[in-house]
Structure 1
Amino acid sequence: MQQVRSQPTGKRLKKSRYITGFDGIRALAVVGVIVYHLLPYNLQGGYLGVPTFFVVSGYLITDLLLQEWEQNGSIDFWGFYARRLKRLYPALVFMLVGTGTYITLFERSLLTNLRSIITTNMLYLYNWWEVGHGQSYFDRFNGESPFTHLWSLSIEGQYYLIWPLILTALILIVKKKRTIAYILMAFAVLSGLLMGFLYTGPNTLNRVYYGTDTRMFSIIFGALLAIIWPSTHLKKTITTGSKWTLNMIGLLSIAVMALMFFELSGQSTFTYRGGMFIMAIVSTTLVAACAHPGANINRWLTNPIFAWIGTRSYGIYLYQFPVMIFYEMRVRDIAAHPVLNALTEVVLIMVISELSYRYIERPLRHYHYKKIGQFIVKFVKPNSPYGFKRLWLVPALALIGICLYGSAIAPTKEQKSALQENILKNQSRASVHNKAALAKQKKAKKLAENKRKMRALLNKKLTRRQYLIAKKYHLNKQQYLIAAHQPLTAVGDSIMADNSHDLQTVFKQAYVSAKVGRQVWQAGDVLRSLKTQGELAPNVLINLGTNSPMTSAQVAKVVKTIGKGHRIFWVNTHVPTRNWETEVNATLGKAAKKYHHFYVIDWHDYSVGRSEWFWQDNVHPNPQGNVRYTHLVAKEIAQTLAKTH
């Protein structure tokens, strides 16, 4: 995340001081974000490190601008903008060019919209582009972009652009700091209320998560704190009682932040209707305690490790997603060793961040760009003092050229793969079949509940067509007939969408609702709607857990929505390319022990090591795999139901 150091914004600021503990706060925030992305099961609220970064930036920038106003009676806008660009642009440009080059050379499936992504990031408008074009920040599987995390840098860039102007206007027009503080508080509350009002469920998540207006309260809180708690006006010598009050506030803030890191899921409604707002307030109280020279929090958050991470937090934040996504696209069995792979990714991120800090961020931050003309003249001279160092220009130009080429050929619409075409075809078939299935389900339910008629049905011979279907899916007569005459509601993600035609070939009375990218917290609306209309079958098949981790509480919510009188069959996950595979399957195993009507269909163990059953991603079953998937589902459901007949 962007780093702001206590440096002058105009002439030398006489009283300005560098608050070392802020590096510790940055370190805690960036570690939370990194751990969340690598091991989301272990720290489901780690993404909340971003509001903490916003608060720190809001405080430091405003504090420095106020110091400059007090000393000079004005703010040097152009000097401020120049320093911000020198600090932020070099690493951002290098990350964009390097990532774009890698995609062009090795991962062309990620080329889509590359030109728009780079352009909007350079203009600090990427967060708004994400609102209309990006995927959910919490969708960890379907086409995850190595640029997604840059939304927050755009919000900070917008803040750096307009806040000096607004602050100057407030000082000149309003004048009184208390009144300015009230105005800022009102805007912070308005921003928080807007987030809660606009959030109505998963369909509006992108709007509230990426929107500048719905996320500004964190930065505003930091700015507000600088107005009422300026670092240069705080007394170093305070009473013992005041010192320990500040210390307790700081420690309590850290404790609440840690609790929210572990407990506050990004899919929880409370997150957007108060949770994130509370996180901003807690971060503000921590910044306040750390900024006060009379408290101990600053010293407690100061150590070499935190200092190293904090000073490199911008680079660490920048490079995290490209490293994670490119690594996980190459290492196909992440789930087998999630911790080892996570540690490997951390090492790669830290090494790249250190190199960036040494050779890009720090040198270019202090470079005198006014001398660039002299530099070019010296550089091109035959007897240039730069000598063989000029050879660095070759790979630099190569990187830029390849990235520009990738941007030029990047499609604006994703090209559909064979898998995607298959999913679309099967979804279309399922839509047609669903209407007929719903019409027949009531009759099928009565038949299934009549044990005498059901036994008679099972004794009948198979027709030629029925025999061929049963043979194709490796089912015996009883398994096929039970499956074919049982009403079934199936809800799932792209795995089920890929499989829907095969599933409905065997389960004649199956209603299938499957959507690419669907996650567990989105199942409730579908199930609730069917239940309200009386169209939820006694047997409910669920295939969710591919796209992101899920908690026991989320599973419990689905079980509660389905309600009593239904059997739940949940297919566990085969997603070896993601580190949450083991945790998802363990969560489902616990649910099977907890609920008597909950059954796990073990697709993972059945399919492990059978790469020939899957498309190239080793996650979605191919036509052969769909036959095997359907066989397992039909066999497991039939065997469970046979015990009741």
Structure 2
Amino acid sequence: MRIKWFSLIRITGLICVLLYHFFQMRYTGGFIGVDIFFTFSGYLITALIIDEFSRSQKFRLRDFYYRRVMRILPPLVLMICIVLPFTLLVGKDYITDLTRQITSAVGFVTNIFEIKTGGTYESRFIPHLFVHTWSLAIEVQFYLIWGFLLYLLTKVSTSVKQFRLRVLAGSALLAVGSATAMYLGAQGLSEFSPIYFSSVTHIFPFFVGSVLGSIAGIQDLMPAFSASVEKHWTKNKALAFMVINLALLFILAYFLRFDRRETYMFGFILASLFAAGAIFGANILHRKTLDVKEPQIFVYLADISYSVYLFHWPLFVVLSKQFSNGIAALLTTILSVIFASFSYYFLEPLLRGKPVSLVGREVNFKQIVTPLGGFMTLAIGFGVFLCLQAPTISSLEENLMLGGIQQDVGKLDMAYAKATAPKNETPVAADQNTGIPAGTTIIGDSVTLGSRSYLLEHMTDVDIDAEGNRTMNLAYDVLMNLQNSGQLRKNVVICIGTNSLDDYQEQTQKVINDLKPGHHLIFITPHDGHADSSYNSYKLGVWERTLPSKYKFITIGDWDQVARAHQEVFEGTDGTHFGGREDASKLYLDCIQDALKRAEKTPVKK
């Protein structure tokens, strides 16, 4: 039995995800499209299992797993085989760690792989081609666990009513437990990807759907629900309820941000509840419009939605490096629809043993065995070739790693030199009145770390302390340690802000207030290639530009302005980092040195 209007739920989820990936700076919360899919899957699977138990008093677990594998695996394998040749259009960074990416995807453990390797959903480096299969991993993990638990429940339940109530109670308990784990896990975090990827913290949308599925199923309904539909719900009321919930999902997707704690405390649970509300409304609308035919375009888009989701991300990652964002989005959509249609309407039915009509001729599985076998042989061979060529880490990550190692070695050399220096050795030049060492101290984040070697080669009397993912509060700690140990030089350059927390003003003000007299303070505005005016990094830059009018000892080096005027130097990067690129490093150096020259014309802090 096909429920009309469920197509709109799937289409909404797909649109949200596509808008987010294509236009991330404008549609910042579209990632909840995945939660819409999660909620719908939880509902559908639970409702179908209850229907099966209601019909036969049995639930065939092996058949359930077989159906899931045949629906999920063929499009996934096809996607990997088709996408890999596209990687020839881009550099090797885009196939970084390809072997583990592929094995994680087909093994349905991408979410675990991303957590273990420190992956981020909003990647700050070269994005993994198959990072989007993290959601598929959680879905399969849900099917394995939930299917087995319901199988056990069928063995100890003596009636459909008892089974349904136990499913309802178990779903509610697991939904609350997982949502609570996400709520608590979000406290104190600045990088939310680990709890986003985790099955424990992000599986609750499935169970929200399961709660609904145990009440308002597909064929076998809870009597109270059935009576309520007949008594209280009209076609117009059901339509309005569905539309309102879908609208709320789009509104939520427009305002949510991946890097905001509120998203994890409330956003995802709201998305799941709105999705459940839309499913509920669609279910009732179906029962009130039995004589109405659903538009075929809705059915078609819903049918291919899963495969479009699979194809769109890696294709967009590659094509967005060849074309403008709009053209890449258009080409990605067209190719994804073509490949998804081929998978759903041709390949998958044949693999399940169903003949397919093609150009007026009937085609069966036996007829495609030879060409399919040849295609798979070529695809596997090409995949092995690419895996052998793939680097373990991207050039950007390698650059940052080397920068960190060189910085650590430099610190050890300085400590050793200081410990073994003769007592009468001439110390670093310092101001006679204040005792503050001359020169410059740069405190930076991963952007600075990537260009650290270049800066040291082209600057004199400079110390650089940089670290990836450093926020202003951590920079403050570094500043205080250097100041208290007498190592903080006269010119203090703060290159922080790409990773900005909500309290960026408060933390920056602490730097300003607690810096001792005798120093120039230079802020280098942060540049994030993905940021718009809603991002904290952008807001920090705007606020920093106001500081020289309030504090005469503060100078601004406007790296964000320079970077936006020279976007060509970020080609092939994530739009923020440029470590290892001499043209970009020179621009960064020029920005810092220009600020230092201007700072020398201003008074030090009194």
Above 0.5 in TM-score?
yes
1:154-208 deviation digits (Å, cap 9, x = unpaired):
1111222332321132244353533432222111111122223444555874432
Residue 277 in structure 1 maps to residue 259 in structure 2: no
1:353 corresponds to which of 336, 342, 351 = 336
Following the alignment from structure 1 to structure 2, what is the Cα–Cα distance between the partners of residues 215 and 385? 42
Compute the TM-score of the two structures, normalised by the length of structure 1: 0.73
| Residue matched to 1:529 | 477
Following the alignment from structure 1 to structure 2, what is the Cα–Cα distance between the partners of residues 300 and 489? 68
1:569 corresponds to which of 512, 523, 548 = 523
Residue 160 in structure 1 maps to residue 119 in structure 2: no
| Residue matched to 1:366 | 349
| Residue matched to 1:170 | 153
Q: What SS does the aligned partner of 2:387 have? A: helix
Residue 322 in structure 1 maps to residue 314 in structure 2: yes
Q: What SS does the aligned partner of 1:512 have? A: strand
Following the alignment from structure 2 to structure 1, what is the Cα–Cα distance between the partners of residues 591 and 395? 32
Residue 84 in structure 1 maps to residue 36 in structure 2: no
Residue 602 in structure 1 maps to residue 558 in structure 2: yes
| Residue matched to 1:480 | none
Structure 1 position 569, deviation (Å)? 1.4
Structure 1 position 444, deviation (Å)? 11
Tell me, yes or no, if the aligned pair for 1:497 and 1:514 is still in contact at 8 Å: no
Structure 1 position 269, deviation (Å)? 2.4
Following the alignment from structure 2 to structure 1, what is the Cα–Cα distance between the partners of residues 398 and 249? 45
Q: What letter is aligned with 1:132?
A: K
2:178 corresponds to which of 171, 191, 214 = 191
Following the alignment from structure 1 to structure 2, what is the Cα–Cα distance between the partners of residues 543 and 301? 58
Structure 1 position 602, deviation (Å)? 3.3
Structure 1 position 496, deviation (Å)? 4.1
1:426-470 deviation digits (Å, cap 9, x = unpaired):
53366459979x99xxx99995997xx99xxxxxxxxxxxxxxxx
2:211 corresponds to which of 224, 229, 244 = 224
Following the alignment from structure 2 to structure 1, what is the Cα–Cα distance between the partners of residues 122 and 397? 23
Structure 1 position 103, deviation (Å)? 3.7
Tell me, yes or no, if the aligned pair for 2:93 and 2:391 is still in contact at 8 Å: no
Structure 1 position 390, deviation (Å)? 6.6
| Gap change, CA 1:313 and 1:367, over 3 Å in 2 | same
Structure 1 position 38, deviation (Å)? 2.4
Q: What SS does the aligned partner of 1:352 have? A: helix
Residue 45 in structure 1 maps to residue 29 in structure 2: yes
Q: What SS does the aligned partner of 2:285 have? A: coil
Following the alignment from structure 1 to structure 2, what is the Cα–Cα distance between the partners of residues 80 and 448? 81
Structure 1 position 249, deviation (Å)? 5.0
| Gap change, CA 1:428 and 1:347, over 3 Å in 2 | same
The count of aligned residue pairs is: 561
Structure 1 position 514, deviation (Å)? 2.8
| Residue matched to 2:127 | 144
Following the alignment from structure 2 to structure 1, what is the Cα–Cα distance between the partners of residues 237 and 431? 71
1:286-311 deviation digits (Å, cap 9, x = unpaired):
22222223798999997666544333
| Gap change, CA 1:55 and 1:396, over 3 Å in 2 | same
Structure 1 position 151, deviation (Å)? 0.6
Q: What letter is aligned with 2:4?
A: I
Structure 1 position 152, deviation (Å)? 0.6
Q: What SS does the aligned partner of 1:293 have? A: helix
Listed as ranges, the matches of 1:370-381 within 5 Å are none
Structure 1 position 87, deviation (Å)? 2.0
| Residue matched to 1:311 | 303
1:364-394 deviation digits (Å, cap 9, x = unpaired):
332265699xxxxxxxxxxx9969x976765
Structure 1 position 396, deviation (Å)? 5.0
| Residue matched to 1:117 | 101
| Residue matched to 2:543 | 591
Unaligned runs of 5+ residues in structure 1 are 1-15, 332-340, 373-383, 455-483
| Gap change, CA 1:638 and 1:110, over 3 Å in 2 | same
| Residue matched to 1:337 | none
Following the alignment from structure 1 to structure 2, what is the Cα–Cα distance between the partners of residues 194 and 385? 49
Q: What letter is aligned with 1:152?
A: S
| Gap change, CA 1:325 and 1:416, over 3 Å in 2 | closer
| Residue matched to 1:405 | 385
Q: What SS does the aligned partner of 2:2 have? A: coil
Tell me, yes or no, if the aligned pair for 2:61 and 2:147 is still in contact at 8 Å: yes
Structure 1 position 52, deviation (Å)? 1.2
Following the alignment from structure 1 to structure 2, what is the Cα–Cα distance between the partners of residues 523 and 402? 42
Following the alignment from structure 1 to structure 2, what is the Cα–Cα distance between the partners of residues 447 and 303? 79
Residue 423 in structure 1 maps to residue 403 in structure 2: yes
Percent same amino acid among aligned pairs?
A: 18
Q: What SS does the aligned partner of 1:231 have? A: coil
Tell me, yes or no, if the aligned pair for 2:75 and 2:343 is still in contact at 8 Å: yes
Structure 1 residues 485-494 or 586-595, which shifts more?
A: 586-595
Compute the TM-score of the two structures, normalised by the length of structure 2: 0.77
**Cα RMSD (Å):** 4.6
Q: What letter is aligned with 2:218?
A: S
Following the alignment from structure 2 to structure 1, what is the Cα–Cα distance between the partners of residues 397 and 163? 61
1:395-429 deviation digits (Å, cap 9, x = unpaired):
55322321133335556566789845763465336
1:486-542 deviation digits (Å, cap 9, x = unpaired):
664522223443236626974746552232xx3xxx514413534675849794522
Structure 1 position 221, deviation (Å)? 1.0
Listed as ranges, the matches of 1:470-489 within 5 Å are 485=438, 488=441
Following the alignment from structure 1 to structure 2, what is the Cα–Cα distance between the partners of residues 366 and 616? 40
Following the alignment from structure 1 to structure 2, what is the Cα–Cα distance between the partners of residues 301 and 136? 43
Residue 18 in structure 1 maps to residue 3 in structure 2: yes
1:612-645 deviation digits (Å, cap 9, x = unpaired):
9889759346456545532321222441452336
1:237-261 deviation digits (Å, cap 9, x = unpaired):
6456777775665455334433432
